[in-house]
Amino acid sequence: MVMDNELKVGDRVRFLDATGGGVVRRVLRSRGVVYVEDESGFEMPVLQSEVLKVEEPSSGVVPKVASQPLPAKEVARPEPRPTVVRSSEKSGEQLNVSLCYLPEAGGKVGQCRYEVYLVNDSNFDLFVTYSSGRGAEQELRYSGVVPFDSSEELEDFDPLELPERSRTTVQLLAFKEVGATYQPKGVMSFELKVDGARFLKEGAFVESPYFDDGAITFELVKADQPLVTKRVEAELLASEMMRTKVQLDSPKKRARKGVSRSKGEPLVVDLHIDELVDTTLGLEPKDMLEIQLGKVEEVLRSRRKPNHVGEKVIFIHGKGEGVLRKAVWDLIHRKFPRHDLQDASFQEYGFGATQVTIR
């Protein structure tokens, strides 16, 4: 039997309770777990007590498996991206999972490759499958375990391959190591509609809680609650936008504008400049932005009393180039850092809305 401290990355091992074996690629000593890559290139987590190190021949000849070069995708893969920033308010036993798209380090948006990361911000390990395609039939692009409190690169791809990722499916199974006690969570499946046009705009890649540089982030699970991403066809979206504009232009809608709502419902504040001023004549873009940000600050300052704690405010800023969204997020991070900030429900508000929870 091999002692914990005898195994290291690169060791050749065989399984005690099953046929086969492989090469150790990762060692988690604190948990007594190693990740073993078999001959097909698949990595699997096993207890160190369930594997036996294969001694190297006395002639000094390196076993064939250990001498084989790494698969091309591993050789070409860059060093791990920025470290995950853990939230001090996270409840340890709740799942928080996000799918993040980042431009290749140092690359120009629209011309560089893109990297896809699964962020597991929880105390559970996750078995993940990630597939994508143009329609119902998809290609599996990653399957494996993403350890607790970590991020894992699932793949990288060329901008020309964006159409092959227009529909993406992520499936999650949460678990803990053998011997640990925990409350099981159901298998979760998410279908995302990936808009390739977003990947060609610098403003679409914004700062996230997990990466210092810009990213397009899909929150899959927040505080154990799956977030549903609804597919909306372009024609339906255009129709909905026109319908909303007509409603906003009606006297009845203007009378309620962002101040009246049913009890328990979030306060909705429309930041479109036409809703904030009677005319835009003579206003420069920077002047309009100042007015919009001033409205955000005014609304949030009016809710500093204890009776507003827990209240939700929805700011409608529109999709556009993402300039106003980024400015709103930057303002709230600087002046109201205690408030919880996230994209508003896509199902309820479509593109271009931010939800703030008063703290």
Q: Which residues contact 188 (CB under 8 A, 6 or more apart)?
A: 171, 172, 173, 220, 221, 226
Is the separation of the CB atoms in 47 and 32 below 8 Å? yes
- Looking at residue 73, its pLDDT comes to 42
- Looking at residue 230, its pLDDT comes to 39
Total structural domains in the chain? 3
* Domain of residue 48, CATH code: 2.30.30.140
Same domain? For 293 and 180 the reply is no
Q: What is the mean pLDDT of residues 280-294?
A: 86
Whether 249 has a pLDDT exceeding 60, the answer reads no
- List pLDDT tens digits, range 19-54: 778 888 887 776 778 888 887 777 888 888 888 888
Q: Cα 199 vs. chain centroid, distance in angstroms?
A: 15
Q: What is the mean pLDDT of residues 62-76?
A: 43
Residue identified by tokens 């090469």 is 23
Same domain? For 194 and 91 the reply is yes
User: Among 52, 70, 88, which residue terminates a domain?
Assistant: 70
User: Among 226, 261, 291, which residue terminates a domain?
Assistant: 226
Same domain? For 200 and 89 the reply is yes
Same domain? For 23 and 125 the reply is no
Identify the domain containing residue 14 by its residue range.
Answer: 4-70
- Looking at residue 261, its pLDDT comes to 52
Helix H, strand E, coil C: the string for 100-138 is: EEEECCCCCCCCCCEEEEEEECCCCEEEEEEEEECCCCC
Same domain? For 34 and 81 the reply is no
- List pLDDT tens digits, range 205-238: 888 878 877 899 999 999 888 885 433 334 444 4
- Looking at residue 144, its pLDDT comes to 95
Same domain? For 222 and 81 the reply is yes
Same domain? For 301 and 348 the reply is yes
Q: Which two tokens stand for residue 190?
A: 């998410």
Q: What is the pTM of this model?
A: 0.43
* Domain of residue 87, CATH code: 2.60.40.1600
β-bridge mates for residue 316, sequence order = 270, 353
Same domain? For 88 and 222 the reply is yes
Whether 268 has a pLDDT exceeding 70, the answer reads yes
Same domain? For 239 and 284 the reply is yes
- Looking at residue 68, its pLDDT comes to 46
pLDDT band per the 50, 70, 90 thresholds, residue 239: very low
Q: Identify the CA nearest to 13 among candidates 50, 45, 52.
A: 52
* Domain of residue 282, CATH code: 3.30.1370.110
User: Among 42, 70, 98, which residue terminates a domain?
Assistant: 70
Calpha distance 93→124 (Å, rounded): 8
Same domain? For 177 and 88 the reply is yes
Same domain? For 58 and 82 the reply is no
Whether 109 has a pLDDT exceeding 80, the answer reads yes
Same domain? For 299 and 250 the reply is yes
